[in-house]
Amino acid sequence: MMWSAPGRLTSTLHLPAFNDSITVFGKGKSKPIRSRLHCSPSRAMETNDDTSKAKASSFDDFLCKKPYSPPSWASHLKPIPSHVFSLAHLPTPIHKWNLPNLPQNTEVWLKRDDLSGMQLSGNKVRKLEFLLAEAVAQGADCIITIGGIQSNHCRSTAVAAKYLNLDSHLILRTSKLLVDKDPGLTGNLLVERFVGAHIHLISKEEYGKIGSVALTNVLKEQLLKQGRRPYVIPVGGSNSLGTW
């Protein structure tokens, strides 16, 4: 049983929508919402002059499409992506962590990808810079992805899609007892619904039977029939392109 986007989905199953942004996937129609949110980046913490300069440059490039050049150690891999979108505030700093009782001559340093941009869920945005560049290059007008009910990847996808003026469709896995209920505004759901994501709920049992690939393909085919141009991002954005 799955909740489907308002006015976006038709299938053999039918169930009334609970509100304007969520329905049960494959179970009916509701009035579509086409909200638009204009987001402005906020400055992240800066640690030194070099990082400050890099950060300033990253803000200047924010939401820009730019050519991609791989690091030398990866230059032999194929195919090399041609472009990325600047969605993250990079480079993120590396901080020393002064833990007690460390072995002699041992230091612990943290790569602070939590400072890449709060709405975009840390390291998740690194994959999306490549994936959404391809989506835009292919002429997509909406993004489909899939994950757990509190998926950080799905949250970051919804926000990044909104930055680029694309609709987002999130297939979220939840418990059988909650699949017919409004999921509320807890945690990542608050952000997703704030940016106008279309949320489709499915039970863990049905998710296990059908699988993520089949579920995203079903939604993709239904959106294509409605004249949309969807781009599918797999679970976690984990594919050959996202790996870059």
Amino acid at 83: H
Secondary structure of the chain: what % helix, strand, coil (to 5)? 35, 20, 50
What does DSSP assign to residue 209? H
Contact of 182 with 19, CB cutoff 8 Å: yes
Please, is 151 exposed, middle or buried when counting C-beta atoms within 10 Å of its C-beta (0-12, 13-18, 19+)? Answer: buried
Catalytic residue among 21, 30, 58, 151: 151
Q: Round to whole Å and give the CA distance between 77 and 35.
A: 40
203 phi and psi, to 5 degrees? -75, 155
Using CA of residue 122, residue 198, residue 130, residue 45, what is the dihedral sign? negative
Determine whether 69 is an active site residue: no
Q: Which residues are catalytic?
A: 151
